[in-house]
């Protein structure tokens, strides 16, 4: 049958040339003395040449010669291309669960994944293996979720097992699509925690205000002494709510603008001077001393002046509130020369002489509402949002925040910015404390 398909294809490919030759021979027979027999013989010789001549077979001939093979090849090529183009990890299996192909993200997710190996070597979850074993006889995909308890960070994965088959047929191939839910679930948890913490922080002063108001309306209505005490506490609680709302708004603005890098040129010496003037009353209240070490020349960076003031003021305020009473808070600016390309970096360190922070708390200090000592922080008027704001503003400025602390030795919070030019006198730069 393949021979007949090929013969028909050759004749169809030369149909117009055949018609032309037949017309020419008919004209010669009609207008000249060429015998009809010779004309027919010439036409038959032409057809024989068309059939016998070597030709480049068309796609139609190739498809007709082996239609099932071509369809199978195209299917396999398409599966590989689709699997490779999928943005998340994707693995193509045979009906027994052996790996036929996997894309780049799957290679990154499962370092031990190999073609020819069984998928159970990298995914051992029972729910997934049950879905996989039932997949060849099922004509619809199924999705399961599982958690990997792998140190140092576990992962939450969603896996879709999709049999590749027509209805009523047993699947020869199975496509496994994976999606990492870890980050999205972490963000959802952070959002829930944020709402819960914000509600709690607001509910406490509101409850106090309601209680005092009810007391003043009834039992202490005519008690002047109680009224004075209660009004003082009410003013403190109202101030606490005001600070919290202001911090929440600042955090919201910082998160909203984190992807928009500032473009203004700011001298960090001006920022240091502004923060010194703003925090001197607080330093006098805590009987602390502010010690400044400005940059020796203008320290120009790309930034937003108000946000940089907020960063440094938050750090200095924390140092004054939680540092040692009657101690010193140092604000030290230093230039760090470039190790490769660029103009180097400027660092501002805020160093206190407080009781220090245990090392296990350091990684979490920039989380929203995180406090080392909740009661002490509230007593000092802290909201648990200051360092979270600092982190987001530094991210917007493409800068860096480093924290170092040891118990009974104080703490050092250092913010680092990229310089836009080398300082005028950088021959002997000093280093800021880490």
- Write down the pLDDT at residue 429: 41
Minimum mean pLDDT among 20-24, 206-210, 215-219: which range?
A: 20-24
Minimum mean pLDDT among 148-157, 164-173, 181-190: which range?
A: 148-157
| Verdict on whether the full-model pTM lies above 0.75 | no
CATH code, residues 83-180: 3.30.450.20
Largest CA distance in the chain: 142
- Tell me the per-residue pLDDT of 157-173, one tens digit each, with 9 for 90 and over: 899 999 987 777 888 88
CATH 1.10.287.130 domain locations along the chain:
186-255
- Write down the pLDDT at residue 61: 44
Minimum mean pLDDT among 38-52, 137-151, 214-228, 390-404: which range?
A: 38-52
CATH 3.30.565.10 domain locations along the chain:
260-418
Residue 374 has pLDDT above 80, yes or no: no
Residue 272, CA atoms < 13 Å, CB-side half-sphere: 24
Minimum mean pLDDT among 103-107, 231-235, 273-277: which range?
A: 231-235
Give 428's pLDDT tier (boundaries 50, 70, 90). Answer: very low
Sequence-distant (6+) residues with CB within 8 A of 15 are none
Minimum mean pLDDT among 4-13, 34-43, 82-91, 92-101: which range?
A: 4-13
- Tell me the per-residue pLDDT of 78-123, one tens digit each, with 9 for 90 and over: 677 778 888 889 999 998 999 999 999 998 888 888 999 999 988 9
Residue 131 has pLDDT above 80, yes or no: yes
Q: Tell me which residue of 356, 378, 360, 380 sits closest to 369, measured CA to CA.
A: 378
Residue 427 has pLDDT above 50, yes or no: no
Sequence-distant (6+) residues with CB within 8 A of 186 are none
DSSP state of 98: B
**Kindly report the CA angle at 296 between 264 and 344, in degrees rounded to 5?**
60
- Write down the pLDDT at residue 330: 92
Tell me what percent of the residues of the chain surpass a pLDDT of 90. 27
Domain over 186-255 is classified CATH 1.10.287.130: yes
| Mean predicted confidence (pLDDT) in 225-243 | 84
What rounded mean pLDDT belongs to the chain?
A: 80
CA distance 161 to 177: 7
Q: Tell me which residue of 238, 308, 241 sits closest to 278, measured CA to CA.
A: 308
CATH 3.30.450.20 domain locations along the chain:
83-180
Give 433's pLDDT tier (boundaries 50, 70, 90). Answer: very low
Of residues 153 and 141, the one with the higher pLDDT is 141
- Write down the pLDDT at residue 413: 94
Between 3.40.50.740, 3.30.565.10, 3.40.190.10, 3.40.50.970, what CATH number should domain 260-418 receive? 3.30.565.10
- Tell me the per-residue pLDDT of 344-362, one tens digit each, with 9 for 90 and over: 999 999 999 888 888 888 8
CA-CA distances (angstroms) from residue 248 to 197, 204, 241, 407?
11, 16, 10, 30
In the three-class reduction of DSSP (H, G, I as helix; E, B as strand; rest coil), residue 238 is classed as helix
């Amino acid at each position: 049958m393949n021979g007949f398909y090929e013969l028909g294809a050759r004749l169809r490919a030369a149909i117009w040339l055949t018609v032309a030759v037949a017309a020419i021979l008919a004209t010669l027979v009609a207008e000249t003395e060429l015998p009809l027999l010779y004309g027919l013989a010439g036409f038959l010789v032409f057809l024989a040449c068309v059939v016998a001549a070597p030709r480049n077979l068309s796609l139609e001939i190739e498809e007709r010669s082996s239609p099932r093979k071509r369809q199978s090849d195209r299917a396999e090529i398409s599966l590989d291309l689709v699997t490779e183009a999928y943005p998340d990890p994707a693995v193509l299996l045979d009906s027994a669960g052996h790996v036929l192909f996997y894309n780049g993200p799957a290679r990154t997710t499962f370092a031990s994944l190999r073609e020819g190996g069984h998928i159970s070597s990298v995914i051992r979850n029972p729910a997934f293996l049950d879905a996989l074993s039932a997949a060849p006889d099922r004509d619809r995909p199924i999705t399961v979720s599982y958690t990997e308890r792998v140190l140092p960070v576990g992962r939450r994965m969603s896996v879709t097992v999709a049999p590749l088959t027509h209805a009523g047929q047993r699947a020869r191939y199975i496509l496994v699509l994976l999606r990492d839910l870890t980050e999205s679930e972490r963000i959802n948890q952070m959002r829930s925690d944020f709402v819960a913490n914000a509600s709690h922080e607001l509910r406490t002063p509101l409850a106090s205000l309601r209680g005092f108001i009810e007391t003043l309306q009834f039992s202490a209505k005519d008690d002047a002494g109680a009224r004075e005490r209660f009004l003082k506490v009410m003013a403190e609680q109202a101030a606490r709510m005001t600070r919290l709302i202001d911090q929440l708004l600042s955090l919201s603005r910082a998160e909203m603008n984190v992807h928009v890098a500032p473009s203004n040129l700011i001298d960090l010496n001006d920022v240091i001077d502004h923060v010194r003037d703003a925090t001197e009353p607080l330093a006098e209240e805590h009987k602390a001393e502010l010690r400044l070490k400005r940059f020796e020349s203008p320290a120009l960076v790309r930034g937003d002046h108000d946000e940089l003031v907020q960063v440094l003021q938050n750090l200095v305020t924390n140092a004054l509130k939680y540092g040692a009473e009657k101690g010193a808070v140092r604000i030290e600016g230093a230039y760090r020369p470039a190790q490769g390309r660029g103009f180097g970096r400027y660092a501002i360190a805020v160093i206190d002489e407080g009781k220090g922070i245990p090392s296990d708390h350091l990684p979490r200090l920039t989380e929203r509402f995180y406090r080392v000592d909740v009661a002490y922080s509230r007593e000092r008027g802290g909201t648990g949002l200051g360092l979270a704001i600092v982190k987001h503003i530094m991210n917007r400025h493409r800068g860096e925040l480093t924290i170092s602390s040891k118990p009974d030795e104080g703490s050092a919070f250092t913010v680092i910015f990229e310089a836009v030019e080398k300082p005028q006198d950088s021959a002997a730069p000093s280093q800021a404390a880490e």
